[in-house]
């Protein structure tokens, strides 16, 4: 019989957002927490914590994320369970969730957390292409999360997690470019996304220094992500 005594279950969360770099480009970013104790003291890690006996993995992920960063996404999706024997000095299995947040939601939630007197400690945002050395196997976890995101963008409307309810095709293309890490031809992109039938044009336009750009929205009959036969108990935080 396999001996399981001493195994602890933890939860971590990969939260991704698009932010503006100094050159104006949209870049994928995520929050990391600076550890204050061993193991891996003074190294950066994903937000997370221990699973208690009276909560589900997704509830634990939501709780520890809120406690460490002040962020509360409305939707968490289970990414993977990481349980390599040597991933921690003690035997730990981590159930990892991920979520996408609009940048204005990040700013608003962080500001509310600070105003409440519970400013997150030792938290800093990093671009995914400029990460510091990470504790445990968190570099591998982030790599897997990015791989999953880049694969899902090809067959789902996952990019909508970074966008407001209404957006231009340029906004959507910019999200795809940040996710995929490459430039896309605007004309080809328009043809491809319009052919899916998932976008609905509105009667509104965005005006500015360029010619007006039509605003689109996603068909709300289509889920942001396929939650599968388990329903919401293993994916949603509310």
Encode pLDDT of 104-114 as tens digits. 999 898 888 77
Q: Is residue 82 part of a domain?
A: yes
CA distance 201 to 166: 9
Percent residues over pLDDT 70 in the chain: 89
**39: preceding bond cis by omega (within 30 degrees):** yes
| Confidence label for 18 from pLDDT (cuts 50, 70 and 90) | very high
Both 163 and 117 in one domain: the answer is no
- Tell how many helices (H) and how many strands (E) occur in the chain: 5, 9
- Residue 210 backbone zone (phi > 0: left; psi -120 to 50: alpha; other: beta): beta
Query: Does residue 74 form part of some domain?
Result: yes
**124-132: average pLDDT:** 95
Residue range(s) defining the domain that contains residue 91? 8-152
30 in Cβ contact with 115 (< 8 Å): no
Q: Is residue 120 part of a domain?
A: yes
Q: Which residues contact 151 (CB under 8 A, 6 or more apart)?
A: none
209 belongs to a structural domain = yes
Shared-domain flag, residues 173 and 144: no
Q: Is the pLDDT of residue 208 over 80?
A: no
Residue 76 inside a domain? The answer is yes
* One domain for residues 148 and 36: yes
What would the mean pLDDT of 162-173 be, rounded to a whole number? Answer: 92
Q: How many CB atoms lie within 10 A of CB 213?
A: 16
Q: Is residue 233 part of a domain?
A: no
């Amino acid at each position: 019989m396999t001996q399981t005594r001493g195994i602890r279950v933890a939860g971590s969360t990969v939260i991704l957002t698009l932010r503006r770099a100094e050159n104006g480009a949209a870049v994928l970013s995520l929050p990391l927490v600076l550890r204050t104790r061993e193991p891996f003291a003074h190294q950066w890690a994903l937000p997370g914590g221990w699973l208690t006996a009276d909560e589900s993995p997704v509830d634990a992920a939501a709780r520890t994320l809120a406690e460490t960063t002040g962020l509360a996404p409305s939707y968490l999706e289970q990414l993977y369970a990481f349980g390599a024997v040597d991933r921690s000095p003690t035997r730990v299995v981590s159930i990892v969730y991920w979520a996408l947040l609009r940048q204005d939601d990040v700013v608003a939630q962080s500001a509310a957390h600070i105003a409440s007197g519970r400013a997150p400690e030792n938290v800093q945002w990093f671009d995914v292409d400029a990460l510091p050395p990470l504790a445990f196997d968190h570099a591998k976890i982030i790599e897997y999360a990015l791989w999953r995101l880049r694969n899902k963008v090809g067959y789902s409307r996952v990019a909508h997690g970074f966008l407001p309810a209404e957006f231009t095709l340029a906004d959507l293309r910019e999200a795809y470019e940040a996710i995929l890490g490459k430039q896309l031809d605007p004309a080809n992109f328009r043809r491809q996304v319009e052919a899916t039938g998932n976008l609905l044009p509105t009667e509104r336009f965005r005006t500015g220094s360029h010619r007006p750009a039509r605003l689109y929205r996603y068909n709300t009959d289509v889920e942001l992500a396929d939650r599968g036969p388990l329903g919401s108990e293993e994916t949603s935080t509310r």
